[in-house]
Structure 1
């Protein structure tokens, strides 16, 4: 070093060296994001405002660049959804954004392994659902992310074990891993903060951890799991027996093979036959490639002008399918038909898009006519169909968003500490609305044997005032028959299980099971079985309780506001049992059930004589103790 030169002569060199050793000292957020953009492909004009010539990404709390969320003049979040993006998510560049807390790249076309996102140690929310990521995630893939609260990785091709580091995140509240290829056992989640863990449709097996036992049973469908909220695990002794038998059998086979090989090698005549060159037959080389399901919104964008929505309601404001695909999307869940998404369109209205893949045997005109008929339905307790999109491979049905979710989520999802369950007046309001909506469907779809066909708690949605809205109704004519028989509630009924037939009273049976579920808080376990439902587990349990000796054990302990309402609750319980009567001849008609439900009140009458009579044999409720005769009904044919 030339000591004769003044110290300020070396400042540019020192500054350059500092930038080389620590780039964040000299890079702006705009420069960081522009470098991140260079790793992306297929973004088209959507990121044109990401440029160095215009204003920076944030000015105050107002973002200037597409998909950027700002706080106090700094980048707080990145939300690049429904853009068909490909390329690489460069985490090393993103980690230079010191205030970055939320990241969403949902509904794009990213491929390859899971990015090293645990470098973003301050991240709170991560959305990577509906891409084509694949391969295993390292066990420590989420290590150190102590602020992470929500993780959405559903609808990808991830495989291997679920990373145990997820089970150690102290603030994790929502985890969505459905429709991947995760395998093995579920890690032992112990966070009190968990409110939703969706592991449906993977390759998982074994018992469900205790901390997840209060989740919705549908969150574990499509695996080989057991234990609450699913049926109880079978004895491990049987498994040990099977393992021992398998080991012994394999040992005997191996010994036999060794003996055979030894015999062949000793006999020169036989051995010579194995030394002859094999003659290859021409034309036998066939390569079978894997066809992966395209689950990203970009799949529909490639359809171009043919990808149109058909509106079935004249009074509704029109929008295009592309408006839905460009909107901010949230995965609501996946059921027996497909997945559901919430999309907020440009006018601020929230819509729900449901994808149906089990309708490919329906012709275009037949489907359009049936959807038009459903679109003409209008009732306060029936969720209105707004529009649909037809393709032979799958269909989209668009309806309004119900802000309070489903009845199933309120009955069966784990609640935050101190948050009460549905009280008795609210539950009564819900079942009254359900009965009215079902009666309307019976009147308007009178030519259908099953006007609803899929009545269950997850298909009862709730609006702002907890008014119920029936969903997924009237679909049996357009659903593939085999799939309907496997999954739809009507085909879990006793009459279909025993005689392969349904009737107008089948929806009444579903209503009865729904009433028992509403009152007991217990999920009908037979709904989880594919194919015929067999005996109605929930109805059988209720019947066994009242036959042994009446106790308050039958009612949901989380149901508040029951004081002075026990008599009315008992009446509704009896209505439910009369509706799910095994013998169809004794089962009530819907009209009779609706009349009895309408008579119910929040509170008991002061006069015991006001209690209504029930059933064909005229049993009457009084102030006396409840006995077996009050609830007698058949659960066997």
Structure 2
């Protein structure tokens, strides 16, 4: 037994020693590669802090992962010659050597199999497009602009299926670009080269500046390619393909005017053939005028018949009493009248909260309206009043609203919630046939649209700073809801990207809070609530929503911000699940990827263009994973989530952060008011 134990200990020790030896060897090879590059390329000694006696992971421009060089950014340092020694850095993910004086052919890059970002612009590289780039299957960004590269782009460039950026402007490249087909491409530029031929449809969505100074290129967005096939009815053409560079071999035919065609005697065979076919028969002016008049007469008769038909139907509707303002499609906001026909029924009225501009229900009915979307509680509209004021109206058509008293008490609580990161409820209307909520209008759409909408060429991606700002603002809004009216322990109940709106300053505003009370419990597991992708595990089976379930939903929202993927959502408007990235269980997918130690694969490809944000992304990922813990008690409170995000952003956190966004921030809200809805 003792011998067996000794053997096991010895075996484990050998393994550890072997791993350490391998790691040391790798680190030594990285050091040799960097020092060799410095010796050959750093003629002006800009890399003075690079020394074989210090830890290379602390050198300027060098970043490491697990003691291997993963990132090398050496820009504008007057580096010269070749960077071939750097191709030995087998774990390199980011290489940026922009704005130096490096020259010669781009060396073989096939050893850099983990490379994701490659920036070599503004140097003096020559030779052909580097064929070894095609072996970099994980490459997202490729920038070889402002060099002296020549030759053609090989067709194998299409093997780079993950490529988001391809910048080749200001080189001496030539040939055709019609074969380029990179479905993920978002940033493309080949201006200032010698390309020729037609621009393919897959690239036609890019601006003119992406193709400028290529005089032989044609097609959208440049000038239309000329039709080089000659008119087969012209004498002397024989349907052949004419070249604009070949002079006309028949100088007697110089005009396309019918009156200047040569006589039948001058070309008996061809002219008689064309007249027999009728293809060039001359039409007299009188016949031409007769054809035009006939067409006009037919159009007039058709228009007259259509006018008579539609006018008769419209007049009939007016006689039947149906010709009201609601027939105007631009004015339709509500399909049923808020004024009941039954005698003795009390008509509803608009109820406004303090400090808001008031208007009458009739003003709302007259307003020009535009449908914004359809959600779990009804349809939302943008309404422009006669005085120019713009509001958002939610019609609670699908909500399970109880009695008038309970409704009014709950609205009283929600209407008094005022915070810079909440969409303010400014009024409501209750009648038996109609329940309306009126909110401030948010002009800059929703987080869902900014993340997933219009993912194609020319789209402006949502940058990292904006994403982090939106996350912080939304967190503060939800934390305020949780800390307001503590006797009721208010919840949002429906946190998702379509309910995070942006105001005119770009600040995040949380909407649709407190409406989950109007959701009827599912009768069966098959009728589970919508937005399952955001729902906490404990609330999917119909249990009451809680503040901890809000925290889970907010964690999924953070994962959506980080990954650019939609949670598994089914919505009546087509659903986020039908958007970019497909419908997936985000928390489960992220956990599986992180478990395999491929954390970098989690993040949205659109974030790969930004530098020095890895720590912040990983930090927000950790917050999101804490929020989406399967056990409610292990999830942080929203006030703590706000604190963590603020620390991540470098925002100074006050010592009294636990009292964040308490009731004191909403002077009109008191615990007495909270008690009215109990």
TM range (shorter): 0.3 to 0.5
The alignment's TM-score, normalised by the length of structure 2, stands at 0.45
